[in-house]
Structure 1
């Protein structure tokens, strides 16, 4: 999710080159531009990117600009958002799009589709969550789900520096567990970590961090943050590096 306040947007514009890209006709989302720009400073070259939880393709759009030679596999399960992604990248031979969810199982799964697509999740929104708008047209739909390891991503990842990006609203640990073989060929992992119990049965940051440490990844950088009610930090975009 990319939940922003006006204050944060002003902050991003003031300290980044977003405005200069905008006047040159390059229209990128604030938060995705900030994340990828910071990523580019830390990791100048990427050859392969897996974008899990692409939403409307905003991260992939900026990443394809800053890493134009990178091969990409882009995943978004929502049927109302996927056509935008497919249209966006149809003419880019480096990018494959997939209208499915990723997790730790194969088949179909119930998905909570929210009017605000960026907070949609396999998990239900927690009653403790005061940061998301209420009464926002929630529907439960069936979506196809696969695992990272059910694809032959290791062949692509072995050809250069590979990044796995996860923005799946509290379901990150399940995606990671379904990709243990794939993780052996990944150099960097970018994920959105929740600092509060935003979803039911959402693992804590400590659990996700411990799992990544056990797989040979250590926290390398913070690339962005999301503000919730009363400008409280509720999510941070973190970069992990294989050590």
Structure 2
């Protein structure tokens, strides 16, 4: 009974030129604005019309949920080594279908090892955190080790026999080179690769832009700009950026069809 009365009241108010809306808090408004900015930054991935999205370092599914908004029908495969994050990722799977998740890290050889798990899980890494990262985000400085499995992307792709052409998104906190070294065959079928790269080392031994650029170039990819970036809250300098690389041969083939 209450719902019909509510609808009738709203209808009468609209006829009188009034419109009721829920008050949105400042926090909610900021969140909505941030989500709009993300969609604006990442919508460029729609142009590739990929058959599959590979999400490496998925955490709790933040990128997967963004990708699902941008590409509603494209299958997503996520890889996440941390137990708690993988559990959260799986809990979101009904909202991500078609979707599959693997409880593993990716690298250049299969192994069992330990990851430095931070309280702020997106900062967790197989590498040791550097001083710059600790200075910028002090709450991430403490970490405990968690045993994980490392798999090779090429092996998984071959086993699953995924068809078509891919988008590969990598967010692995300094372990990008190892992921790419284990993805040589996969890269040949990948239209676009997005790699998070640090402007200055945030983890000990992580590769910089030059090294990743050279590696991507050797596989026939061209640098196509930055999609998003993370700035220092202290002085505004750029700390990390999501670099976009395009497969020259595959993109040329598409333009000729």
Structure 2 length normalisation: TM-score?
0.77
Q: Distance in 2 between matches of 1:55 and 1:92?
A: 14
2:102 — aligned with what?
Answer: 98
Aligned residue in 1 for 2:244: 239
Q: How does 1:29-68 map to 2 (within 5 A)?
A: 32-40=38-46, 43=47, 45-68=49-72
Q: Unmatched 5+ residue regions in structure 2? A: 1-25, 249-257
Contact 1:170 1:199 in 2 (8 A): yes
Answer yes or no: is 1:140 the counterpart of 2:145.
Answer: yes
Larger Rg: 2
Contact 1:39/1:223 (CA < 8 Å) preserved in 2? Answer: no
Aligned runs of 1:5-154 on 2, under 5 Å? 18-19=32-33, 32-40=38-46, 43=47, 45-90=49-94, 92-129=96-133, 130-134=135-139, 136-152=141-157
Q: Label 1:84 to 1:107 Cα distance change in 2 as closer, same or farther (>3 A).
A: same
Match of 1:170 among 171, 174, 187: 174
Q: Given the two structures, how large is their TM-score scaled by the length of structure 1?
A: 0.81
The residue that corresponds to 1:214 in the other structure is 218
Q: What is the distance in 2 between the residues matched to 1:115 and 1:31?
A: 26
Would you say how many aligned residue pairs link Structure 1 and Structure 2?
218
Q: What SS does the aligned partner of 1:239 have?
A: strand
Residue-by-residue CA offset, 1:71-100 (whole Å, 9 max, x unaligned): 111011111111111010146541101111
- Going from structure 1 to structure 2, the CA distance change for 1:93 and 1:223 (only over 3 Å counts) comes to closer
Shift of 1:109: 1.3
Q: Secondary structure at the match of 1:39?
A: helix
Q: Answer yes or no: is 1:199 the counterpart of 2:203.
A: yes
For the aligned residue pairs, the C-alpha RMSD in angstroms reads 2.5
In structure 1, the residue corresponding to 2:190 is in which secondary structure? Answer: coil
Asked if structure 2 preserves the Cα contact closer than 8 Å seen for 1:46 and 1:67, the reply is no
Distance in 1 of aligned mates of 2:167 and 2:238: 25
SS in 1 for 2:235: helix
Gaps of 5+ in 1: 1-9, 20-27
Q: 1:215 to 1:231 in 2, by over 3 A?
A: same
SS for the counterpart of 2:136 is: coil
How far, CA to CA, are the matches of 1:212 and 1:115 in structure 2? 32
Q: Which has the higher contact order (CA 8 A, sep 6+)?
A: 1
Conserved 8 A contact 2:127-2:175? yes
Q: 1:146 to 1:139 in 2, by over 3 A?
A: same
Structure with a larger share of its residues in helix: 2
Q: Is the 8 A contact 2:39 2:70 kept in 1?
A: no
Distance 2:215 2:53 in 1: 21
